[in-house]
Homo-oligomer: A and B are copies of this chain.
């Protein structure tokens, strides 16, 4: 750690390579935090995400970027990690919980962020969850974040010392277009990010999965040009 970073407040930022967590990182940086990005390799089919996470971390001047290997995929039960399941191509994100839901994923990610925050003596953890355009996921809801915040107040040595990290979810009540406008105001280049559930090896998006559709709609509503590289003209 450089000397001037020692005195500044620090944050652990969960970074997936998608647009939401990239925006959360941009907001943490704007908030004056020295940012330590944390990503996971967990058997997700779109491992291309991790390349995007690395580019975003670098572009936004993160002080570090750690990638941890997690055995979530071994447990099965999700289309995102289980190669036996087909991914939905449109229309599946209406009611109920999408089959791309991964059991307890954000609980696991936040638990590791909590451990990393303790080791790094971080003051905050940033997570880019968003309840508006992804309301199907139980662990993206405000009440879930509130419950984890309470847990973090109790779970660690630093918590006992009165220095539990704040759990920051700055996007939780934003629409996709608000997220995009926020990131653009902060100079974030969204072409670095990948949202598609199944991009090709070059990182080009299918344009048709639920995640692509939400992203395209977001740029449309934000009145901003969509820098996403799509597999074909749509």
Contacts and interface: CB of A to CB of B under 8 A. Distances in A.
Interface of A: 68-72, 74-77, 97, 101, 103-108, 110-112, 114-116, 118-119, 138-139, 141, 143-144, 147-148, 150-151, 153-157, 159-160
B154 A151 contact: no
Contacts of A114: 103-104, 107
How many copies altogether? 2
- The interface centre, meaning the residue of A77, A157, A160 with most chain B CB atoms within 10 A of its CB, is A157
A44 to B, nearest CB: 14
B157 A97 contact: yes
Contacts of A116: 75, 103
A147 to B, nearest CB: 4
Most buried by B among A141, A151, A156: A151
A90 to B, nearest CB: 21
